[in-house]
Amino acid sequence: MRSESTRNVSLAGAVASAVAASACCIGPLAFAMLGLGGAGFLVAMEPYRPLFTVLTLGLLGIGFFVTYRPQQAAADDCDCEMPKTNRFGRWMLWGATGVAMLALISPSLIPYLF
């Protein structure tokens, strides 16, 4: 149970820090597309981008470690059924990884898109 909550916190943190890492570039563009001006203050987050990138990759690493580590055998051989893999959790991990990677590479792609 604890590893599942660790994985969920890791996923949420990874996506949040990836969005924060790209907020300096995506934020003003998104607000400009919505017709809202004055969102240039998000450019002030540019110096923190490497920190958020490292945080994102670290949290994704923790999520993958918790999800794919081998199951530990029970201390007593009680003929208990081993816990089944959580397929939904693995799909969510890969989905969060995709969203995080898209957010991290988006500042490099914006000049080619516009």
Q: Tell me, what's the pLDDT at 76?
A: 54
Helix (H, G, I), strand (E, B) or coil at 114: coil
pTM: 0.60
- Domain chopping of the chain, boundaries: 2-68+87-109
Average pLDDT over residues 64-89: 69
Q: How high is the pLDDT of residue 46?
A: 77
H or E element at residue 18: helix 2-21
Q: 52 vs 80, which has greater pLDDT?
A: 52
Q: What is the pLDDT of residues 5-34, one digit of tens each?
A: 777 777 777 777 777 766 666 666 666 666
Residue with the bigger pLDDT between 75 and 92: it is 92
Tell me the mean pLDDT in the region 36-61: 77
Residue linked to tokens 């059924």: 81
CA neighbours closer than 13 Å in the CB half-sphere of residue 37: 0
Let me know: does 107 contact 25? Beta carbons within 8 Å. yes
Q: What is the DSSP string of 52-106?
A: HHHHHHHHHHHHHHHHHSPPPPPSS---PPPPPP-HHHHHHHHHHHHHHHHHHHH
Work out the pLDDT band at 80, boundaries 50, 70, 90.
low
